[in-house]
């Protein structure tokens, strides 16, 4: 039972990391392998700010996000922009090279020893079965409501001529659908888990969640929803989608493509840092392999989610998190990553474009 | 022109060869230190290196080895078998003997060091592979994981536990004592193992594993992990409010773990670790050397005395052999550390006795280094039970291994 909470936390943290990766992938059109190292850098910065600067974990996390975001903008302009015309492969290998450079810089700056995070996991909030189901039902109702509102807005937007309308439409429609899907997945997992581990007879009579875990889930959800609304409802968001769809056309139509690119690098890198901070708190400390340990899972969540939908990527991350943690009830935990990558292979066999990709639909529509 | 050039070239080449041979005999004796300075064993890295540097300092302060200075060649093995192999290949040509090796590296290099005839000391490797495989070119001067596994089972038995679950990281150094514990607990003591949860390191969370490992109301859970996984596991244990006792593997007996577990009641965590011979003259010399070369008193629990002893033993063996060649040195190891012989506790006393033509029996700050001549393992490692008191591991008592539990 408790595994559902673990899966949601894992999925939430993974979502924050993956959405930034997916955003860069969609707009810059390459796999940013150095994203894992950016995540690690954010984690290290927050630890330094907490231990040496005496900052509160939330303030330290926020500062680390801003600093890492600025670094991301600089990297985008200095490292990737000059080779952007050389194609995806050159960008990919530039990113791999950058990953090693950041990794080396982290070792040189912070050393190789374990850096502890002097932040506890917080007190436990306990739920009974009824309370937990009620919370999930409330989440489902909210998801449906948000989805309905966004779908209505999308219908109205269909009649407007705005750059990247297709993406806005599908993103808006997808939001409610993805939230509902996540809730459904959680409910199904809940039922399965309840049947499996003899709910109520184990060491815990109910479900408990540490305040830090709740904060991570809510912050991830908040960040991803904010990003979704930013992309759907703001002018910059529309520019961003237009630039992702066709950069040349976007430039001709007067969209400041370089500014848009900077915004993407900032958001993507800041989200990576946010995930890094959360992972550091979860682990209680970090070591230099942190970035390498996370990039493959991020990559798999992004591929699983598909291109074109931020909410789809989030849903994929949460599903992956649930799969990894809830599968522990039936499959030895040593195979946790095998479950994740097994699910990825299965999905790719059935749906190569990813679970929630909108690109194919967009291509068909155009 | 060619007539002049070729003889000149030959002279230059030959001269170079002769000079390089001369350098080899007259330069410093190079002793490799191949250890995890980064990765999972990084917490042991600096204190281990301090122990090694103290030994080199003592050797050089007392005339070096065969009149030559000793020099430590430090190489990180990244705490992985691959890193050990790569690291060894980097320094194999320049070193005369190797030390500092941990379990993963020892297993990975077992065949290679024998082929290279490279005298190799294991001051911090418990792997059960060495229970039978060492003795010719590789010697272990610390307790085996077999000892740790048996001691943990003995502690669980003496505490009156019935059901014990397991939570074990799938690496050589952590599974090795865990598997011995499980075997002894079930088959010699007749205890019950409930859940046996194994996991891979490097995860962002071990919540599912911890939940599973503490399910079924066990009396205790044996946790075998490195510090990187151990910290989130213990934080999760505390956050979820579990109350079962914990038996920890040697790798978790480090300050970071003690600090995380500081809020737990004393005795909740049971730990067994090799201990030093604090009262011996050897320890006094070691402590003084550590203060001089590391600038601080020695810590405990980082195999720092074992790191010190390995180089003293190698240096004494080279002195006895009057050579730094691998086979000559290897042939002298047992005569240096095993009885009979004049009991010596310091490098200076050992060299003096050897120069008088006596056979010696060296005991260092880590205690007796009497080795089984068939396997190269310690005959009687000294083990103590530790408790966490005020955020640090504190030695409670030295305990004897129950011979009836031996495998």
* Cβ–Cβ < 8 Å for A4, A207: yes
CB of B373 less than 8 A from some CB of A: no
CA distance A297 to chain B (A): 10
Average pLDDT over residues B310-319: 96
Inter-chain residue contact B208 with A325, CB threshold 8 Å:
yes
Average pLDDT over residues B255-271: 87
Locate the chain B residue with the closest alpha carbon to A123: B239
Inter-chain residue contact A114 with B227, CB threshold 8 Å:
yes
Strand partners, B196: B166
Confidence category of residue A194, pLDDT binned at 50, 70, 90: low
Confidence category of residue B336, pLDDT binned at 50, 70, 90: very high
Inter-chain residue contact B45 with A113, CB threshold 8 Å:
yes
pLDDT (tens digit per residue) in B29-67: 999 999 988 877 877 888 899 999 999 999 999 999 999
Inter-chain residue contact B199 with A336, CB threshold 8 Å:
yes
B-chain residues within 8 Å CB-CB of A332?
197-198
pLDDT at A53 over 70: yes
Across A242-256, B3-17, B29-43, B92-106, the highest mean pLDDT is recorded for B92-106
A68 vs A193, higher pLDDT: A68
Inter-chain residue contact B240 with A285, CB threshold 8 Å:
no
B-chain residues within 8 Å CB-CB of A122?
239
Inter-chain residue contact B198 with A333, CB threshold 8 Å:
yes
pLDDT at A361 over 80: no
pLDDT at res. A347: 81
Inter-chain residue contact A6 with B207, CB threshold 8 Å:
yes
pLDDT (tens digit per residue) in B88-118: 999 999 999 999 998 888 888 988 999 999 9
CB of A3 less than 8 A from some CB of B: yes
pLDDT (tens digit per residue) in B195-232: 999 998 888 889 889 988 998 899 999 999 988 899 99
CA distance B397 to chain A (A): 30
* List of long-range contacts for B367-372, beta carbons under 8 Å, 24+ apart: B367/B275, B367/B276, B367/B277, B367/B280, B368/B277, B369/B141, B369/B309, B369/B313, B369/B337, B370/B337, B370/B338, B370/B339, B371/B139, B371/B141, B371/B333, B371/B334, B371/B337, B371/B338, B372/B135
Q: How many CB atoms lie within 10 A of CB A65?
A: 25
Alpha carbon distance A312, B166 (integer Å): 38
Across B24-33, B166-175, B180-189, B260-269, the highest mean pLDDT is recorded for B180-189
Confidence category of residue A202, pLDDT binned at 50, 70, 90: very low
pLDDT at res. A358: 59
pLDDT (tens digit per residue) in A313-350: 888 898 888 888 888 878 887 787 788 788 888 888 88
Task: Point out the residue among A107, A121, A279 whose CB comes nearest to the CB of B239.
Answer: A121
Locate the chain A residue with the closest alpha carbon to B216: A202
pLDDT (tens digit per residue) in B394-403: 877 888 888 8
CA distance B38 to chain A (A): 5
Question: What is the number of helices (H) and of strands (E) in chain A?
Answer: 14, 4
* Cβ–Cβ < 8 Å for B33, B74: yes
Percent of chain A scoring above 70 in pLDDT: 79
User: How many contacts does A have with B, using Cβ atoms within 8 A?
Assistant: 111
B-chain residues within 8 Å CB-CB of A289?
39, 202
CB of B45 less than 8 A from some CB of A: yes
CA distance A137 to chain B (A): 24
| Window A:290-319, CB contacts with B under 8 Å | 293-294
What is the three-class DSSP state of B193?
Answer: strand
pLDDT at res. B10: 54
Environment class of B60 (CB within 10 Å of its CB; exposed 0-12, middle 13-18, buried 19+): middle
Locate the chain B residue with the closest alpha carbon to A281: B232
Q: Is the pTM of this model over 0.90?
A: no
Average pLDDT over residues A191-216: 64
Token pair, residue B29, equals 């004796």
A-chain residues within 8 Å CB-CB of B228?
114, 283, 285, 287
Locate the chain A residue with the closest alpha carbon to B198: A334
Task: Point out the residue among A6, A114, A324 whose CB comes nearest to the CB of B256.
Answer: A114
| Window A:252-281, CB contacts with B under 8 Å | 279
Confidence category of residue B22, pLDDT binned at 50, 70, 90: very low
CA distance B377 to chain A (A): 30
Locate the chain A residue with the closest alpha carbon to B207: A6
CB of A203 less than 8 A from some CB of B: yes
B-chain residues within 8 Å CB-CB of A287?
38-39, 42, 228
Alpha carbon distance A41, B112 (integer Å): 38
pLDDT at res. A359: 57
Locate the chain A residue with the closest alpha carbon to B169: A334
Inter-chain residue contact B212 with A289, CB threshold 8 Å:
no
pLDDT at B5 over 80: no
CB of A115 less than 8 A from some CB of B: no
Angle between helices A2-28 and A310-326 (to 10 degrees): 150
| Window B:316-355, CB contacts with A under 8 Å | none
Locate the chain B residue with the closest alpha carbon to A3: B208
Locate the chain A residue with the closest alpha carbon to B226: A114
Least confident among A239-248, A322-331, B243-252: A239-248
ipTM (interface predicted TM) = 0.73
pLDDT at res. A362: 54
Average pLDDT over residues A278-301: 90
* Cβ–Cβ < 8 Å for B73, B32: yes
Output the CA–CA distances (angstroms, integers) from residue B280 to B283, B339, B344, in the order listed: 5, 18, 11
Across A53-57, A65-69, B298-302, the highest mean pLDDT is recorded for A65-69
CB of B82 less than 8 A from some CB of A: no
Alpha carbon distance B19, A110 (integer Å): 42
pLDDT at A157 over 50: yes
Average pLDDT over residues A28-45: 94
CA distance A68 to chain B (A): 20
Q: Which residues contact A284 (CB under 8 A, 6 or more apart)?
A: A116, A117, B231, B232, B235, B260
Task: Point out the residue among A2, A282, A337 whose CB comes nearest to the CB of B211.
Answer: A2
pLDDT at res. B4: 55
Q: Which residues contact A314 (CB under 8 A, 6 or more apart)?
A: A15, A18, A19, A178, A182, A224, A305
Percent of chain B scoring above 90 in pLDDT: 51
Confidence category of residue A175, pLDDT binned at 50, 70, 90: low
CA distance B237 to chain A (A): 11
What is the three-class DSSP state of A194?
Answer: helix
Inter-chain residue contact B204 with A287, CB threshold 8 Å:
no
B-chain residues within 8 Å CB-CB of A17?
none
* Cβ–Cβ < 8 Å for B224, B177: yes
CB of A9 less than 8 A from some CB of B: yes
Task: Point out the residue among A13, A112, A124 whose CB comes nearest to the CB of B37.
Answer: A112
Q: Render the burial of A93-120: b for 16+ CB within 10 Å, e for the rest.
A: ebbeebbeebbeebeeebebbbbbbebb
Task: With CA atoms as reference, report the closest residue to B329 among B59, B96, B94, B101.
Answer: B96
A98 vs A207, higher pLDDT: A98
Locate the chain A residue with the closest alpha carbon to B39: A112
Inter-chain residue contact B231 with A114, CB threshold 8 Å:
yes
* Cβ–Cβ < 8 Å for A107, A114: no
């Amino acid at each position: 039972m408790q595994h559902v909470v673990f899966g949601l936390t894992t999925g939430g943290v993974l979502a924050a990391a993956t959405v930034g990766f997916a955003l860069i992938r969609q707009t810059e059109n390459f796999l940013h392998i150095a994203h894992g190292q950016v995540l690690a850098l954010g984690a290290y910065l927050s630890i330094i700010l907490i231990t040496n600067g005496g900052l509160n974990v939330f303030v330290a996390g926020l500062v680390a996000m801003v600093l890492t975001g600025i670094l991301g903008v600089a990297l985008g302009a200095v490292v990737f922009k000059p080779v952007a015309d050389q194609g995806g492969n050159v960008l990919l290998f530039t990113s791999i090279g950058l990953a090693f450079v950041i990794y080396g810089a982290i070792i040189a700056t912070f050393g190789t020893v374990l850096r502890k995070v002097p932040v506890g996991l917080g007190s436990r909030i306990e739920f009974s079965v009824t309370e937990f189901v009620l919370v999930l039902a409330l989440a489902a109702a909210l998801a449906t409501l948000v989805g309905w509102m966004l779908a209505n807005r999308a219908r109205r937007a269909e009649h407007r001529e705005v750059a990247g309308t297709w993406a806005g439409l599908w993103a808006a429609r997808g939001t409610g659908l993805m939230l509902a899907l996540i809730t459904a997945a959680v409910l199904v997992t809940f039922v399965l888990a309840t049947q499996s581990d003899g709910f109520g007879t184990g060491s815990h009579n109910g479900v408990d969640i540490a305040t830090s875990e709740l904060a991570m889930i809510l912050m991830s959800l908040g960040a991803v929803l904010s990003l979704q609304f930013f992309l759907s409802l703001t002018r910059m968001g529309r520019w961003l989608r237009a630039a992702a769809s066709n950069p040349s056309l976007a430039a001709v139509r007067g969209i400041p493509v370089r500014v848009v690119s900077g915004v993407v690098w900032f958001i993507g890198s800041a989200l990576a840092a946010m995930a890094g901070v959360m992972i550091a708190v979860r682990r209680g400390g970090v070591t230099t392999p942190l970035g390498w340990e996370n990039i493959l899972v991020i990559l798999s969540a992004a591929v699983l989610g598909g291109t074109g939908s931020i909410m789809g990527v989030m849903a994929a991350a949460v599903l992956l998190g649930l799969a990894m943690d809830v599968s522990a009830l039936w499959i030895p935990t040593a195979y946790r990553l095998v479950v994740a990558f097994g699910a990825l292979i299965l999905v790719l066999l059935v749906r190569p474009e990813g679970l929630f990709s909108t690109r194919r639909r967009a291509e068909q529509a155009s | 022109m060619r007539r002049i050039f070729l003889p000149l070239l030959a002279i230059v080449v030959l001269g170079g060869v002769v000079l390089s041979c001369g350098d080899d005999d007259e330069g410093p004796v190079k002793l490799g230190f191949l250890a995890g300075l980064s990765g999972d064993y990084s917490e042991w890295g600096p204190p281990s290196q301090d122990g090694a540097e103290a030994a080199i300092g003592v050797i050089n302060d007392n005339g070096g080895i065969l009149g030559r200075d000793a020099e430590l060649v430090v190489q990180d093995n990244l705490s992985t078998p691959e890193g050990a192999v790569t690291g060894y290949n980097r320094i194999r040509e320049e070193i005369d003997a190797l030390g500092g090796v941990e379990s993963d590296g020892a297993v990975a290099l077992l065949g290679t060091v024998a082929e290279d005839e490279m005298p190799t000391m294991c001051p911090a490797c418990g792997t059960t592979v060495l229970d039978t495989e060492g003795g010719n070119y590789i010697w272990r001067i610390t307790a085996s994981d077999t000892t740790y596994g048996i001691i943990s089972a003995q502690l669980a038995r003496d505490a009156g536990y019935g059901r014990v679950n397991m939570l074990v990281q799938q690496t050589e150094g952590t599974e090795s004592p865990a598997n011995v514990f499980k075997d002894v607990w079930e088959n010699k003591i007749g205890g019950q193992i409930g859940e046996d949860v194994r996991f891979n390191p490097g995860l962002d969370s071990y919540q599912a594993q911890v939940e599973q490992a503490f399910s079924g109301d066990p009396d205790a859970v044996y946790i075998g992990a490195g510090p990187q996984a151990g910290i989130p596991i213990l934080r999760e244990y505390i956050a979820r409010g579990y109350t079962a006792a914990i038996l920890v593997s040697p790798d978790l007996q480090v300050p970071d773990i003690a600090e995380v577990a500081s809020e737990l009641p004393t005795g909740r965590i049971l730990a067994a670790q090799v201990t030093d011979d604090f009262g011996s003259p050897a320890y006094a010399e070691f402590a003084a050397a550590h203060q001089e070369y590391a600038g601080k008193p020695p810590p405990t629990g980082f195999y720092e005395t074992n790191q010190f002893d390995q180089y003293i033993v190698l240096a004494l063996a080279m002195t006895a052999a009057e050579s730094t060649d691998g086979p000559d040195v290897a042939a002298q190891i047992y005569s240096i550390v095993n009885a009979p012989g004049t009991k010596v506790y310091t490098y200076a006393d050992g060299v003096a006795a050897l120069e008088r033509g006596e056979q010696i029996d060296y005991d260092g700050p880590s205690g007796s280094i009497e080795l089984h001549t068939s396997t190269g393992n310690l005959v009687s490692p000294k083990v103590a039970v530790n408790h966490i008191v005020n955020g640090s591991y504190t030695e409670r008592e030295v305990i004897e291994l129950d011979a009836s539990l031996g495998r």
